[in-house]
Structure 1
Amino acid sequence: MDGRAVAPAAGTVLNALATGRGSAFAIDLETTASVTLTDDGAIEGAVEGQPDADTTLIERCAATTIEAYAETAGLESEAIGARVRTESEVPMASGLKSSSAAANATVLATLDAMQIADAVDRIDACRLGVEAAREAGVTVTGAFDDASASMLGGVTVTDNRTDELLEREPVDWHALVYTPPERSFSADADVSACERVAPMADLVCELALEGRYGEAMTVNGFAFCGALGFPTEPMLEALPDADGVSLSGTGPSYVAVGDRETLAALEERWGERDGSTRLLRTRNDGTRTA
């Protein structure tokens, strides 16, 4: 019994570390998960091209999904094992929600292998991945904002304290991503520093709920660059022409949105920096079986 699913990465509108409320939008970078169910009860994961990668998250996602839905699929969870393999265009520890994409792809691929992917509500599937991410220790907030954007597509606003979806809207944006060479793990972020910018985060959430996403992400970017110690120069290089620009997640990537011509000019400026740039589109289809 085999399953396969593809999940997009995401960029940040509002970092949830300050208040528990967050917002993100799906972008056209993908993680693919393939799952084969077995009858030996063992869960084993692998990451394409990274033989030493930590596979705790994807293994936990497969196990959690099997535990939750084996009975629905007419299977005995104790006897089911899984072989999980992921491959990804999303750089790890870059602020582009690689963990959320891997979790969503693995959950949906496991459901696909169990032949019940179409019967499970996508938000419920998303919450399984969030639960597994918390258990695996790869997230501070649970990252329901990032996971919901990746699972549903478009832009979402969430309360990560209750895993509640506050808003979801399809968007059609061009997005430019700049990723410096260093890496930054979300679980290592200075939460106390982020909590000190809570008033700014509240303002960002108000702007996002009003649909003013570009303004929201720019305020978020300056606030969290300060809180997390990242330079604001890449943001200043994007302004005032870009519709919005922010540090994505806990960094180190930055994401700007706007028209293609503006972002192409910004790509030349960001391209002079160490690291890589990608000019992408947003995604509204979210995680899907493949």
Structure 2
Amino acid sequence: MNGRAKAPAAGTVLNALATGVGSAFAIDAYTTADVSLDDTGNVRGKIEGVPDADTRLIERCVEVVLESADEGSSADEPSSLGATVRTESDVPMASGLKSSSAAANATVLATLSALDTEMEREDACRLGVQAAREVGVTATGAFDDASASMLGGVTVTDNGRDELLARDEVSWDVLVWTPPEQAFSADADVSRCQRVAPIADLVADLALDGDYGRAMTVNGFAFCGALGFPTDPLLSALPDVDGVSLSGTGPSFVAVGGRGVLEAVQERWKSLEGTTWLTTTQTDGTRTI
């Protein structure tokens, strides 16, 4: 009764903090989850390489899947299943690259695999979002981030209703710059973000029209202002890239465009403290392995 799954990270097209509508795209960097079921009735989590990390999210993801399985069971008594869940990741934590959504998605699918149970991926995604809300690691519900990671490609969602408004498969080269500091999305100043709601509505319209590059760029300037991040990384990438934005609530920035263009921007971003890396979009989403 073991399961294993991997989920991609994601970058931002539209931050959902302003209006509840958000958009994100999956990138080729992963979090892997291993789940081993047992009869202890307890769930224990571990994040590789981070011994003091908060494991409540991945533990709650296992629990909500087990609870969902109990609800669908004809047994008179709830099961006494417990589990050990372990995650390891290429995605830096609290960097704006949806590490929590990736961890939740990987854990949910790994648990379903361990149970030998199938579920529509969109519904499985909602279980991870439920867990994230219950443990307080998200300010928006993060259905945009979670859906991009679970389904692959780029998604546009209404996080207030957990509704998928659009999904598109894209093939982009992606440049990421991640500063050394962390920024936890649950700590973001929502009231300041809500002040840019009219701009967020414009970004949503652009994204729903498939104009993702311009949507990203407008989002980047708006949310750098709302969240207090510098716009210099955006300006140093323009006008060459197709789109550039603050990712999530930061501190990472993401840019999309031609490989040669991104390599030139990478040279400029290398003068900034932190790490820069090139990757691509991912269209397969979360998968058992």
Answer whether TM exceeds 0.5 for this pair: yes
- 1:19 aligned residue: 19
Cα distance in 1 between the residues matched to 2:45 and 2:105: 15
Tell me the TM-score normalised to structure 2 length.
Answer: 0.98
The residue number in structure 1 matching 2:42 is: 42
Gapped runs of 5+ residues in structure 2? none
CA-to-partner distance for each residue in 1:167-188, whole Å, 9 max, x for gaps? Answer: 0000000000000111100000
Offset, 1:69: 1.8
Q: Which amino acid aligns with 2:120?
A: D
Tell me if structure 2 keeps the 8 A contact 1:94–1:179: yes
Q: 1:32 & 1:50 partners in 2: Cα distance?
A: 14
Match of 1:152 in 2: 151
Q: Cα offset for 1:74?
A: 7.4
Q: Name the % identity.
A: 70
Whether the 8 Å CA contact 1:2–1:34 is kept in 2: the answer is yes
Letter in 2 for 1:43: V
Q: Is the 8 A contact 1:73 1:114 kept in 2?
A: no
Residue of structure 2 in register with 1:85 after alignment: 86
The letter for the 1-side match of 2:68 is: A
Match of 1:187 in 2: 186
Question: How far is 1:51 from its partner?
Answer: 1.1
Secondary structure at 2:79's aligned position in 1? helix
How many Å apart are 1:273 and its aligned residue?
0.8
1:65-121: per-residue Cα shift (whole Å, max 9, x none)?
Answer: 1100246577764310010000000000000000000000000000000011xx200
Corresponding residue for residue 3 of structure 2: 3
Whether the aligned pair in 2 keeps the contact of 1:173 and 1:258 (CA below 8 Å) is: yes
Task: Provide the residue aligned with 1:222 in structure 2.
Answer: 221
1:64 maps to 2:64? yes
One-letter amino acid of the counterpart of residue 248, structure 2: G
1:129-152 superposed Cα distances (whole Å, 9 cap, x missing partner): 000000010001110000000000
User: How far apart are the structure 2 equivalents of 1:273 and 1:248?
Assistant: 16
CA RMSD of aligned residues (A): 1.1
Partner of 1:213: 212
1:236-255 to structure 2, matched below 5 A, reads 236-255=235-254
- How many residue pairs end up in the alignment? 288
Greater CA drift, 68-77 or 11-20: 68-77
Task: Report the 3-state secondary structure (helix = DSSP H, G, I; strand = E; otherwise coil) of the residue aligned with 1:24.
Answer: strand
Unaligned runs of 5+ in 1: none
The change in CA–CA distance for 1:73 and 1:37 in structure 2 (over 3 A counts) is farther
Distance 2:40 2:11 in 1: 39
Residue 69 of structure 1 aligns with an amino acid whose one-letter code is A
8 Å CA contact retained: 2:70, 2:79:
no
Measured in 2, the distance between the counterparts of 1:142 and 1:2 equals 28
Deviations 1:27-59 (A, max 9, x none): 011000000000110100000011111000000
Q: 3-state SS of the aligned residue for 1:266?
A: helix
